[in-house]
Amino acid sequence: MRVGELGGVEMTVDFWRRHFDNPRDNIANYFGCYQDYSVENRVRMKNAGAIQLILEACGEGGKHYWDAGAQFSCWCAFSSFHTPENHAEFRRLGGIRHTAAVFRDHAKGYRVREEILQAMKGVCAWRANRDGLLKEGFFELLADAVKTEKHDPQVTSLGLEVLRMFVDVDAEQRRKYVAAG
């Protein structure tokens, strides 16, 4: 994508760093657009430090943790950041822990859970990430969301897709999910 060739990813990181204190200047969602069809821009995102910057803004205890608009923007950035290297960096920086916390604390934030689930479709492809999410209680949060938010088609459809990634390969999780109803 041309935006990467023109330095757009790096310029976005630079702008956001300079305006980091204002949650209205949170433009993390731009990264999602830059990455949708461009693996090269996904690499640029990591190399420019965007994953760390996003988690510093919206991870648990982050500068803009309680701002619902900022959360939506941050998780839009993660919805299409999928490369093994980006997932490893996300995990290294505490992204797994932050995922569970935001999913729990922003249950009613506009489309926050939807964007988290978009991100988890890629993140959960890796056993280490699923194991980390299990330790953080994400599986239970997700199972509860699918059950209680049955009128939200995005949470339901994406939630079931992510749940499947846990239960297809783990008989114990499958048993727990069935037992929970």
Q: Encode pLDDT of 65-119 as tens digits.
A: 999 999 999 999 999 999 999 999 999 999 999 999 999 999 999 899 999 999 9
CATH topology of domain 2-180: Leucine-rich Repeat Variant (1.25.10)
The predicted model scores a pTM of 0.91
Read off the pLDDT of each residue in 135-157 and give the average, rounded to a whole number. 94
Check whether 180 has a pLDDT greater than 80: no
Give the residue with greater pLDDT, 26 vs 103: 103
> Taking the domains of the chain in order of start, what are their residue ranges?
2-180
Read off the pLDDT of each residue in 38-58 and give the average, rounded to a whole number. 94
pLDDT value at residue 2: 78
* Residue 35: pLDDT band with limits 50, 70, 90: confident
Read off the pLDDT of each residue in 138-164 and give the average, rounded to a whole number. 94
Check whether 165 has a pLDDT greater than 60: yes
Please, is 83 exposed, middle or buried when counting C-beta atoms within 10 Å of its C-beta (0-12, 13-18, 19+)? Answer: middle
Check whether 57 has a pLDDT greater than 70: yes
Check whether 1 has a pLDDT greater than 70: no
Which phi and psi (to 5°) does residue 124 adopt?
-75, 0
Read off the pLDDT of each residue in 1-28 and give the average, rounded to a whole number. 85
Looking at the chain, the whole-number percentage of residues with pLDDT higher than 90 is: 69
Cβ atoms within 10 Å, residue 6: 10
pLDDT value at residue 31: 83
Give the residue with greater pLDDT, 5 vs 88: 88
Give CA–CA dist 3/37, Å, rounded.
Answer: 12
Read off the pLDDT of each residue in 55-69 and give the average, rounded to a whole number. 96
Give the residue ranges of DSSP H helices in the chain.
2-5, 8-18, 29-35, 39-47, 50-58, 68-78, 84-92, 95-105, 112-123, 127-135, 138-148, 153-167, 171-180
